[in-house]
Structure formats: structure tokens, C-alpha cells
Amino acid sequence: MAKKTAEILSRAYGKGKDYQNIIDKFLTKSIRQETKFTAYGFFVIDNSTLFKIISAVTTYLVILIQFKQLEESKND
């Protein structure tokens, strides 16, 4: 995908000064722009958030397994 984008930009760059200015502005903006993933704008999802989510899910699953084992031991 990136290779194809580079090919398109290089072809357009040779078409004239107007295209060169547009491409220069596009590349400058895309280099400076920081990509952030959000949960519908409520909070940013980064490595820290993912770690917290995975930790919470793992803890929840461990507790569920323990309750299931306790229930099975009472039925025996």
C-alpha cells in the first residue's frame, strides 16, 4: 500500500508546480500528524489502556474459573 502511494505521488509530482505544492503540503501534514486511537472520542486507547483492559479481563476470567471450580466441588 505504501509503495503504491509513493508511486502515485511521484507520478503526480512530475506533472507541474501546482501538484508539487499540493504534495509537499500533504507530506508535511502527514509527517507531523500524530495518529491517536480513541474510544469514540471518550478516551485515548494506547498501550497503557490496552494493558489495563487485558489485565481486567484476565482477572475476571480467573475469578469466574474459581467460582466454577467451587460450584463443581460442592456438587460432588
Q: What tens digit of pLDDT does each residue of 45-76 get?
A: 999 999 999 999 999 999 999 999 999 998 87
- Neighbouring C-alpha atoms within 13 Å toward the C-beta of 72: 6
Q: Is the dihedral of CA 58, 64, 70, 73 positive or negative?
A: negative
Q: What tens digit of pLDDT does each residue of 6-50 get?
A: 778 788 878 888 888 888 888 888 777 777 889 898 999 999 999
Domain ranges of the chain: 1-33, 36-76
CB of 18 closer than 8 Å to CB of 28: no
Q: Is the pLDDT of residue 2 over 70?
A: no
CB of 45 closer than 8 Å to CB of 37: yes
Q: Is the pLDDT of residue 1 over 80?
A: no
Question: Residue 33 has what DSSP assignment?
Answer: P
Cα 25–19–34 angle (5° rounding)?
A: 25
